[in-house]
Structure 1
Amino acid sequence: MKNLLFYKKKAKAWEEALPVGNGRIGAMVFGNLKTERIALNEDSLWSGYPKDLNKKDAVEYLEPLRQAIFDGDHKKAREIANRDFHGHWSEAYLPFGDLIIEYSKSSKKGYIRTLDISTGVSVTKSDLLTQTVFVSYPAQLAVVNVKASEPISAKVTITSKLKHKCHTDADALIIDGQAPEICMPPYHNDGKVFEYGPQGMRFAGAVKVLGNAVFDEDSIVISNQTEFTLLVSLATNFIDFKSMPVGDPIPKALKYFENAKPYNELLKEHTDDFSSLFNRVDVDFGSERADVPTDKRLKQFKKGADDNNLIALLFQYGRYLTISCSRQGTRAMTLQGIFNPHLRAPWSSSYTTNINTEMNYWCTDICNLSECFEPFFEQAKNMCINGEVTAKDYYNCNGSCAHHNSDIWGASYPAGDPFGKTNSESYAFWQSSLPWMLNEVFEHYRYTRDEKLFEEMKPYFKKVLEFYNDYLIEHDGKLVTCPSSSPENTYNDNGVRGCLTYMPTMDIGILQEFFQNCREFGFDTPEIPDIPIGSDGRINEWAKEYTETEVTHRHVSHLYCVYPSAVEQSDEVREAAKKSLLKRGFDGTGWALGWKVCLWARLDEAENALKLIKNQLRPINPRGIRRPGGGSYPNMFDAHPPFQIDGNFGVAAGIAEMLVRGAIPKEWSGYAKGIKRKDGTELNIKFDKGKIYE
C-alpha cells in the first residue's frame, strides 16, 4: 500500500476529495457512489482579457514617494503609494464545473476510496460498484470507468457556477459557458466585483460514453449496464496572454475525442506516462502504518504514532501534484495548482510571485521532474514582456519589472485596490518578482545543462538587468532599490508602523543571485550592499534595525539569501540565518512551514527541519473552526489555511534538500534514490538512524 492514500468514507468537503490531473485538466473525486461529484478545472479558464491596467501618471509620484521613504516619513509614503502609485487587482482563476453521476443503486458495504499516486488513478469501490477516475496527459481527457457486479443505471449531468447552458449533440453532452470580464478577489467589494460581458472567455466541455446510452436534452441516461466509461473533454477559447479570447471552444473540446481509445488502452497509456515520471524517485524512512486510512493516519501521527513513512508519503505527494498540475504546454500552477472550486477564490487563485508561485516549482528539478518546469518559464516570459510598460509607467526605466501578483494575462503592475482607497503598501509596491523568477529559471538550467535554454534565457536577463541599471538609486553612498518592501511584513519605527523602505534584505539576496547569473552571460552588473547582520546577530530584514511588529511573521523574505538562492553564503551569514529562524519559530502557515523546512535543510539542521515537517502534517478539519497555523487537510492538501498547494511543493523540496545534503533526522532509517543533484547524478543512499552507511 505504499504511495497510496485511502479512506473508508466518502468526501463531504472539497478538501477531502482526491485530486487527479494532467497539467491542463484537474478533477477532484468525492467518491460518493450514490450521487458522485467530480469537480473539474481547466488551466486556461480565467476571468478578464488582455488590457493595460498600468496607472499612466504613476511615475509623476515616484520622486515624492522616494523622498518620503528616505526621510523616514512613513505616513506620507503610505499615502502617496496607496493613492497615487497603485495598480489594479489581477484576474482570477475560475472553476470549470462539476460532473454529476447519479447511480440507480448504491451500497455502503465494502466501501473504500483510494488514490494511487504512483499511477495517478483514483478508485472508489463497494461490493456493488468500482469507479475508476484518471486524467490522461497523452489523450488530454478525463476518464471515468464504472464496473458493477449487477446491471445498474445512471444519469450523467454537468453543471457550473459560471454562466452556462447544457445540451446534447448527437453522441455528446455539451456544456457551453461564459467567464466573467471582471472577477475581483473576495476581500474587495467596492464597485463592480463580478460582471459578465462579451469580451470574457468562453469555455466548453463535452462528455461521451463508451457503452450504450441515451442522450436526453441535457443529460446522459445509461440503463442496465455492468460497465460503461465516460470520456470528458474540456476547452476554452484562450489563445495566449496577449490575444483576445475569440472563437468557439466547442469544436476544440470535441477535437480531443480524436484521441479516444478503448478504456483499457487509455488506462495503460495514462499509467505508463504518469509512472514513467513518478517512478524515478523512491524513498523509505522506516516505520509506517499504511494499513490505516490516511485521515486517521494524520490524526494518529499528531498524537505520536511511529509512522515515518507518512513523511515519505507527503514527499511523494508533492511530486505527484507536480506531475498532475504542470506539464509541457500547460499554464503555470496557481496558488491552488489547477484545483479551485471557488468563483472568487482566496487571493483569486492567481500567481502570487513574492514567494508562492516560485515555491510551486522548487521541487521540480531536485525531485527529478524537470519536464514539469516549462510552464513557469513561459509565465516569466509573459510578465517580462508586459513589464516593459510597467517599468516606463511607474519608474521611467528601460527594461522590465513586475510586482507581487500576476495572472494568465501576464499582469506586471502593483496589484492592489484599483481606486487607491485601501492600504496595499505591505505587498503591492515590491518590484523584485522578475529577477527572482529568472533566478529560478537559471537554477533549472543548472540541473538540465540545456544550452538551448541558456540562450533562450539571455534576452530576458538582459531586459531585467536594464531595469535595475536604471532603477537603482544612490543613497548614503550605496545603490539601493526604492520604493520596495520586505513582502507583507511591517516594522515599527519610533511608534510608527511602516512597510515601504529602500533596499530590504530580500532585494539584496535576489539581486545578489541575479547579478551573479547575469555575469554568466557576460553582462556587467552594479555593486550592491552585502547581506546585513544586526546588532543581535540575526540577519536584519530592512535597511535599518527597526523593531519587528510580528516576530513570528509567516514570510522569511530576508532569508532568501540562504534558500532558495544559489549564492554560497559565509559562515557568518549562515549562523545569522539560524538565529533569525529560531526567532521566527516553528509555526506558521502551511507554505511558511515548507519554506522553513527548506531553510533548515540548507543549513544542515535535520532535527529542526523535522519539527516543521511534523507541524505541516498536523490534521486540519475543513469543516471545523479554522485554527491558526498550517497543516494538512484529510486529502493531504496543504492548509494555509485555506488550501494553498505551494506548501506541498515546499516541503517536498525541503525533504529532497535534506537527503541530498545528508541532513537526515535520527528517527529515519531507510533509503532514498533518484533525487537529482545539480551535477546530473542521482542520489542513491541507505541510512540508519540518520547516518548514511551506503
Structure 2
Amino acid sequence: MFYFVYCNCYAEDTLWTGTPGDYTDPNAPEALSEVRKLVDGGKYAEATKAAVKLSDNPSDVYQLLGDIKLEFDDSHLKYTENTYRRELDLETATARVKYSVDNIEFTREHFASYPDQVIVTKISGSKPGSLSFTVSLDSKLHHHSGANNQNQIILQGSCPGKRIPPHIAVHENPKGIQFSAALDLQVNPGAIIHVLDDKKLKVEGSDWAVLILAASSSFDGPFTKPSDSKKDPTSESLNALKSTIGLSYSDLYTHHLDDYQNLFHRVSLQLSKNSKSMFNDRSLEVKKAKSPLTDLWSNKSEDDTVSTAERVKSFQTDEDPSFVELLFQYGRYLLISCSRPGTQVANLQGIWNKDIEPAWEYVHLFLLPLENSSIQLL
C-alpha cells in the first residue's frame, strides 16, 4: 500500500543547542584593531578574513521541534487535476489546503492560537465518513513518542547540549534543553480511532477530525543551564491541552480570531485609488497541478484568482500597488505571529524554520533596532 504523507512542521521558540556560558574572545580587541586598519587601507577581503578572529566559539543553533505527520491512502495522490489549492488568509491568520478526490473535497485548516497556546488543525471531507488517516508526532532531534487510549500522542526529546558538527548524529551529543509536545485528537461521533504500534493514532470513517497540539520546553531563562531547570515541559504541554477541554473547534477559532484581529486591524494601507482594499485582497495563494509532491504551480485557479507566484512574476512589468500592500500586511502577520508577550525575540525565519542545521544558525541579528522591527510594524 502506498501512502500520501503530509508533514506539518511545528516549532517552539526557546529550542537551541548549547548551554549558557561566556563566549567572548579575550583577543577580540586586538583583532578589531587589525580589522579597522585593513578596512582603512581598502583591503576588504583581508578584513573579512581577519574579522573571524572577533569571535571565539561559533554561536549555537536554533532547532526545529518536530512534525505532525499525516498519512492518507494512495487515493489522495490521485486527486482531481487543478483542484489543489493552498492559501494563507492574512485576515484570519489561517492556512488552508483543499483538493478533490472522486468528487469529494478534502480540506485542512491550520491556525496557531496565542490565547489558548495551541496549534489547531481541522481536517474534513465533504462526504460523510470519507475521512481516514493516520497521525503521529516525529522529530529530527533525539526523542521518543507514544500514543494512548485517551486519543493523545506525547513526544519527549532534547536538544543537543553543544553545537552539532555537520553530519554527526544528534543522539551522540549530550543533552541540552528538554522539550515535549502533546497532541489531542477529536473526531465526530461514530468515527473510529485505533492506536497503532503504540506511536500512532488511526482515524477511520470520520466526517472531520480536529488535532490540538501544545508544546513546551525546559528553557528557564538565558542564564539557567538545562541541567538546572526545574520546568517540566511534558506537564506544561498536557496542562495546555487540559485548558482546551470542552472547547469546540469554533470556540478555539473565535478565541484566535478575536486576539489576532485586535492587532491586525490596527493598520490599513492603500497606495492607489485603483488598488483593492487589503481586506478584499487578503490571501497569499498557490495552486498546484498534477501532484502535491511536485513544485509545478499553475498561474490561475478556476475562478481566475491570481496565485502569489504569478503576481511576483508579473510585478516585473506591472508594479501593482495592491501587491505591495499585501506584502506589507504579510510582514505584519509574521510579526504578530512570532512577537508577543512571553515569546522570544524574532530570529530570522524563526518559528518557520524546518531544519536542525539552518542557514546562519537563525541567530538574532542586530542590523536594525529590534524594538523598531517588532513594535512599529504592529
Tell me the TM-score normalised to structure 1 length. 0.43
Q: Secondary structure at the match of 1:95?
A: coil
Task: Give ranges in structure 2 of 5+ residues lacking alignment.
Answer: 282-304
Cα offset for 1:361? 4.9
Match of 1:160 among 136, 139, 152: 139
Q: Secondary structure at the match of 2:328?
A: helix
Deviation per residue, 1:268-318 (Å, 9 max, x gap): 11011111110111122334585311111111222x236220111011111
Contact 2:90 2:330 (C-alpha < 8 Å) held by counterparts = yes
1:96 equivalent in alignment to 2:65: yes
Q: In 2, Cα distance between the equivalents of 1:360 and 1:154?
A: 43
Decide which structure has greater helix share. 1
Cα offset for 1:153? 0.8
Q: Secondary structure at the match of 1:352?
A: coil
Tell me the TM-score normalised to structure 2 length. 0.76
Match of 1:292 among 286, 306, 321: 306
1:39 equivalent in alignment to 2:25: no
- What one-letter code is carried by the residue in structure 1 that aligns with 2:145? C
Contact 2:164 2:173 (C-alpha < 8 Å) held by counterparts = no
Cα offset for 1:113? 2.1
Match of 2:159 among 168, 176, 179: 179
Cα offset for 1:351? 1.1
Superposed, 1:542-553 pairs within 5 Å as none
Report the counterpart of residue 527 of structure 1 in structure 2.
Answer: none
Decide whether aligned partners of structure 1 residues 154 and 81 sit closer, same or farther in structure 2, where only a CA change above 3 A counts.
same
- What one-letter code is carried by the residue in structure 2 that aligns with 1:92? V
Superposed, 1:337-348 pairs within 5 Å as 337-348=350-361
Decide whether aligned partners of structure 1 residues 351 and 65 sit closer, same or farther in structure 2, where only a CA change above 3 A counts.
closer
- What one-letter code is carried by the residue in structure 1 that aligns with 2:242? E
Q: Secondary structure at the match of 2:357?
A: coil
Aligned residues: 324
Decide whether aligned partners of structure 1 residues 341 and 83 sit closer, same or farther in structure 2, where only a CA change above 3 A counts.
closer
Superposed, 1:527-676 pairs within 5 Å as none
Q: Secondary structure at the match of 1:201?
A: strand
Decide whether aligned partners of structure 1 residues 200 and 312 sit closer, same or farther in structure 2, where only a CA change above 3 A counts.
same
Q: In 1, Cα distance between the equivalents of 2:14 and 2:32?
A: 37
Decide which structure has greater strand share. 2
Deviation per residue, 1:154-177 (Å, 9 max, x gap): 100121111222212342111111
Contact 2:184 2:213 (C-alpha < 8 Å) held by counterparts = yes
Deviation per residue, 1:351-407 (Å, 9 max, x gap): 122x1xx3665344433x2xxxxxxxxxxxxxxxxxxxxxxxxxxxxxxxxxxxxxx
- Root mean square deviation of aligned Cα: 3.2
Q: In 1, Cα distance between the equivalents of 2:256 and 2:86?
A: 20
Q: Secondary structure at the match of 1:90?
A: coil
Decide whether aligned partners of structure 1 residues 65 and 142 sit closer, same or farther in structure 2, where only a CA change above 3 A counts.
closer
Task: Give ranges in structure 1 of 5+ residues lacking alignment.
Answer: 1-32, 370-694
Q: In 2, Cα distance between the equivalents of 1:131 and 1:215?
A: 22
Taking only the aligned residue pairs, the percentage that are identical comes to 27
Match of 2:20 among 26, 47, 50: 50
Contact 1:156 1:220 (C-alpha < 8 Å) held by counterparts = yes
Match of 1:218 among 191, 194, 199: 199
Decide whether aligned partners of structure 1 residues 215 and 90 sit closer, same or farther in structure 2, where only a CA change above 3 A counts.
same
Q: Secondary structure at the match of 1:285?
A: coil
Decide whether aligned partners of structure 1 residues 70 and 143 sit closer, same or farther in structure 2, where only a CA change above 3 A counts.
closer
Contact 2:10 2:64 (C-alpha < 8 Å) held by counterparts = yes
Superposed, 1:461-476 pairs within 5 Å as none
1:366 equivalent in alignment to 2:371: no
- What one-letter code is carried by the residue in structure 1 that aligns with 2:13? D
Q: In 2, Cα distance between the equivalents of 1:233 and 1:207?
A: 7
- What one-letter code is carried by the residue in structure 2 that aligns with 1:138? P
Report the counterpart of residue 282 of structure 1 in structure 2.
Answer: 268
Deviation per residue, 1:316-338 (Å, 9 max, x gap): 11111110111110000111132
Q: Secondary structure at the match of 1:362?
A: helix
Q: In 2, Cα distance between the equivalents of 1:47 and 1:258?
A: 30
Contact 1:147 1:227 (C-alpha < 8 Å) held by counterparts = yes
Deviation per residue, 1:87-110 (Å, 9 max, x gap): 221111111111111224533363
Q: Secondary structure at the match of 1:126?
A: strand
Cα offset for 1:83? 8.7
Report the counterpart of residue 451 of structure 1 in structure 2.
Answer: none
Q: In 2, Cα distance between the equivalents of 1:79 and 1:277?
A: 42
Report the counterpart of residue 328 of structure 2 in structure 1.
Answer: 315
Which structure has the larger Rg over C-alpha atoms? Answer: 1
Q: In 2, Cα distance between the equivalents of 1:193 and 1:305?
A: 49
Report the counterpart of residue 205 of structure 1 in structure 2.
Answer: 181
Report the counterpart of residue 267 of structure 1 in structure 2.
Answer: 253
Decide whether aligned partners of structure 1 residues 42 and 130 sit closer, same or farther in structure 2, where only a CA change above 3 A counts.
same
Superposed, 1:358-437 pairs within 5 Å as 358=368, 361-367=371-377, 369=378
Report the counterpart of residue 472 of structure 1 in structure 2.
Answer: none
Match of 2:217 among 226, 229, 236: 236
Decide whether aligned partners of structure 1 residues 98 and 84 sit closer, same or farther in structure 2, where only a CA change above 3 A counts.
closer
Cα offset for 1:194? 6.7
1:249 equivalent in alignment to 2:233: yes
Q: Which one scores higher on RCO, CA 8 angstroms, separation ≥ 6? A: 2
